[in-house]
Structure 1
Amino acid sequence: MQYGCIGEKLGHSFSAEIHAMLDSHPYELRELAQADLPAFLQKKDFRGINVTIPYKQAVMPFLDEIDPAAREIGAVNTIVNRDGRLCGYNTDFYGLKTLLEAIGVPLQGKTVAVLGTGGTSLTACAVAKAMGASELLRVSRRAGEDRVSYADFYRDHAARVRILINTTPVGMYPNPDACPAELDRLPALEAVADPIYNPLRSELVLGAWARHIPAQGGLLMLTAQAVRASEIFTGQTYPAGTAEHICAVLTERKENLVLSGMPASGKTTVGRLLARKTGRPFLDLDEEITRRCGKTPAELIAEAGEAAFRDTETAVLRAVLAGLSGAVLALGGGTVLRDENVTMLRQNGMLCFLDRPVSDLLPTADRPLSSTREALEKRYAERIDRYLATADLRVAGFKTPEEAVEMIERSRKTV
């Protein structure tokens, strides 16, 4: 192993991809059980490694040198082997500071709450202090000398919290539905930072956005710390903006393109064409429902009614989205009617509404909720506001599927 990342579970990691984009050195992921960590570090068979959950504190006793800043923080996430001497650094500090600066809400003179008590929480506290926070609260499941319990936090401290930083794995893939905080109990909240990057937008970040609170996930933090780590590994310096550029490229690469719209609006046709042109896999939710249930959506609605079908649709959507990234997904006409579905889709997706005039849509017998012109127009009137409200991108005025694809590709460069 020349360079790489060690941690207990790395199936979600983007680190190898980021270091490949830096084009500086071979980089591999190495999952280690806790019992195997000492032997790995004592063998010293690497040139440089990043360290992730849960080993950012556990590695410290095995190091020959620790950078003063990392020692003060109490956590190491970057180790360099210099002629057999292991030297530890904390590049998470730089990454999290970059993320908070990008969110754009100053910490000076404000109360900052840090969720969690692991190595990343120590870094978060150090960054908040360096950026001028007047009060720091570490929040844990159990109270302690330097932390408060969640119960005490909400009862005694929540009203004055302005900045929230999550350092727990709550909300991370493969459990993206979880949220580490009750945002409605934080009335003065001004900004949220969540180092979780898979999904791209955690439940916490989406919840903040829904309340018009500035928030950002952890991909920029990850890329910024990786750039700094690579500089320590190799001694080279990258141009300003490198981390932001890699973050933007990775977001575009990982984000699903999700097509919403009325029945007969062309979602499947446009989706297949978009997938071919961009080299992405394509999935059609109605086809997935048919494949998994053995019956078409129309048959399921006819047998059990629309409400039961919507439950089935949500269950299939959840299964389809598990681990899905960089794909094109065509939805059913009513998928976005449920908030739960929209939240799942937005975690790793960009919703593109194919907005065709209702006069251009053709009713068909295989669509029981829009099988006649009258039913189709009724559905359009009921749903148009919802389509618009849930869309990240409105695709309107196209005459052909090819034009719709061009509009999506062109618009994504400016979103």
Structure 2
Amino acid sequence: MAQPLYGLIGAKLGHSYSKIIHEKIADYTYTLLPLPTETEARAFFAKREFAAVNVTIPYKQLALPCCDEVDPRAKAIGAVNTVVNRGGRLYGYNTDYAGFAYLAKAHGVDFAGKTVLVLGTGGTHATVSAVCRDGGAKEILTASRTGRDGALTYEQAAARSDVQIVVNTTPCGMYPQTGQCLLDVAALPWLETVLDVVYNPFATELVLRAKDRGLTAAGGFEMLVAQAVYAAEHFTGKPLDSETLIPQISRELQKELQNVVLIGMPGCGKSTVGAVLAKKLGKTFVDADAEIERRTGKAIPDIFAQEGEAAFRRYEADVIADLTRQNRQVIACGGGVVKTPENRHALRQNGPVLWVQRPLDKLATAGRPLSKGGAALREMAQERLPLYRAAATATLCNDGALADTVAAALHLLK
């Protein structure tokens, strides 16, 4: 007899973490089921050959009329993200509501009396708006690319100086199109909080810009875990200890999936420390400079000599953009990686950035195009130290035994 089918449907699922989350929660096998067209999605529901599924972009609204019975909250929102087949009848729920409410609560976000701007008009927009409305928001604004049906355009939204909370419900900034952003948060003087339902990467460009301003900001990974736990209760028909499971699974999976990025002056030991640290963490070690050499077929000193530093920085930015979109890596970066502004956000999007510090007189300089020692090295340090400080999550002293440095890194990562 075939095993009952549990899984996720959506147009594109290459970015999804749902399988690993659900299989941590319960004992069923969870399958990713990409359905590129609405016709395929409707046919999937019509056949009813599944036990239970989650529904993601762009089928949350389509799923609702495919169900025989819909939970009142899902019906009021107009979107379904969880469908359970009980004896051939389809029951629809919206666990995104509770998931988003969990995310807001976990980060101390109170909607009462606030002006909220919701980016996007899809199924998740309706869910987020419902949570904000139930939380007592004073006004809920909507922004979209077209500005149709009463929505503001993103340009108009940026001119609303009274906005206090921004929530992104669009796929903008989601893997693999990371680094994109719909709104200039610097244009909103009263902005306090940014929440983004995108969970891959952990921190979108929108979230990183908000953090740069010192605002409360969070991506959607905790929401993803929370809605999965609530969905699993419907899947299994059994109550779960959600208050314990959600933070526990969120921490475990972020630790497992995240990158650890090492930055610092040339010759400070990033590659040596990174290779050992990767083994300890069970992650893949990647040396960004070695990857540049592999892609270009040239040694880095030759790139500097033949094409100049500007060309090297372009190669480096391309490599950093590609590497940091992925996960489960320890990435050792070249000393000048922080000189390119877009790299600083890319490095932080999927995990912590450790600034490896070593006294200047102990830095290795052989074979390094810009490390000449003496006054030149001190001048380089003066230029780069503020950039390292701005990019780093934490500092790691590498002034002793390798084992001690790695142990200190593991402690920081806890």
Structure 2 length-normalised TM: 0.95
Tell me the CA shift for residue 289 of structure 1.
Answer: 1.1
1:347-374 Cα shifts (integer Å, max 9, x gaps): 113111111111222332x112113344
The within-5 A match list for 1:131-210 is: 131-155=135-159, 158-210=160-212
How many residue pairs end up in the alignment? Answer: 409
CA distance in 2, matches of 1:381, 1:136: 46
- Show the counterpart of 2:380: 379
2:247 aligns with one of 244, 247, 259: 244
CA distance in 1, matches of 2:149, 2:39: 29
1:120 aligns with 2:121: no
1:103-122 Cα shifts (integer Å, max 9, x gaps): 21311011111111110000
SS at match of 1:59: helix
CA distance in 1, matches of 2:275, 2:357: 17
Tell me the CA shift for residue 304 of structure 1.
Answer: 2.5
SS at match of 1:395: strand
CA distance in 2, matches of 1:153, 1:367: 48
Distance 1:78 1:303, change over 3 A: same
Tell me the CA shift for residue 146 of structure 1.
Answer: 4.4
- Show the counterpart of 1:357: 359
Tell me the CA shift for residue 398 of structure 1.
Answer: 4.2
Unaligned runs of 5+ in 1: none
Q: Is the Cα–Cα contact under 8 Å of residues 168 and 180 in structure 1 kept in the other structure? A: no
- Show the counterpart of 1:215: 217
SS at match of 1:270: helix
1:268 aligns with 2:271: yes
1:55 aligns with one of 53, 56, 59: 59
Tell me the CA shift for residue 253 of structure 1.
Answer: 1.3
SS at match of 2:61: coil
CA distance in 2, matches of 1:308, 1:193: 36
- Show the counterpart of 1:9: 12
- Show the counterpart of 1:31: 34
> What amino acid is aligned across from residue 104 of structure 1 in structure 2?
G
1:344 aligns with one of 343, 346, 359: 346
Moved more, 312-321 or 181-190: 312-321
Q: Is the Cα–Cα contact under 8 Å of residues 120 and 142 in structure 2 kept in the other structure? A: yes
Q: Is the Cα–Cα contact under 8 Å of residues 154 and 182 in structure 2 kept in the other structure? A: no
1:252-281 Cα shifts (integer Å, max 9, x gaps): 112111111111111111111111222211
Tell me the CA shift for residue 236 of structure 1.
Answer: 2.0
1:22 aligns with one of 22, 25, 40: 25
CA distance in 2, matches of 1:401, 1:254: 25
CA distance in 2, matches of 1:320, 1:144: 37
The within-5 A match list for 1:319-338 is: 319-321=322-324, 323-338=325-340
Distance 1:397 1:151, change over 3 A: closer
The alignment-based identity, stated in percent, is 44
Tell me the CA shift for residue 339 of structure 1.
Answer: 1.8
CA distance in 2, matches of 1:345, 1:314: 11
The within-5 A match list for 1:106-117 is: 106-117=110-121
Tell me the CA shift for residue 152 of structure 1.
Answer: 3.8
SS at match of 1:132: coil
2:256 aligns with one of 235, 241, 253: 253
- Show the counterpart of 2:370: 369
CA distance in 2, matches of 1:260, 1:317: 12
- Show the counterpart of 2:103: 99
Tell me the CA shift for residue 47 of structure 1.
Answer: 1.1
- Show the counterpart of 2:48: 44
Distance 1:40 1:154, change over 3 A: same
SS at match of 1:28: strand
Q: Is the Cα–Cα contact under 8 Å of residues 269 and 398 in structure 2 kept in the other structure? A: no
Q: Is the Cα–Cα contact under 8 Å of residues 258 and 330 in structure 1 kept in the other structure? A: yes
> What amino acid is aligned across from residue 211 of structure 2 in structure 1?
W
CA distance in 1, matches of 2:259, 2:305: 31
CA distance in 1, matches of 2:10, 2:118: 22
2:79 aligns with one of 75, 97, 115: 75
> What amino acid is aligned across from residue 142 of structure 2 in structure 1?
R
SS at match of 1:160: coil
Unaligned runs of 5+ in 2: none
SS at match of 2:132: helix
RMSD: 1.5
1:46-84 Cα shifts (integer Å, max 9, x gaps): 111100000000011111000011101110000111111
SS at match of 2:92: strand
SS at match of 2:112: coil
> What amino acid is aligned across from residue 87 of structure 1 in structure 2?
Y
Tell me the CA shift for residue 133 of structure 1.
Answer: 0.3
CA distance in 2, matches of 1:11, 1:202: 17
> What amino acid is aligned across from residue 70 of structure 1 in structure 2?
A
- Show the counterpart of 2:235: 233
SS at match of 2:179: coil
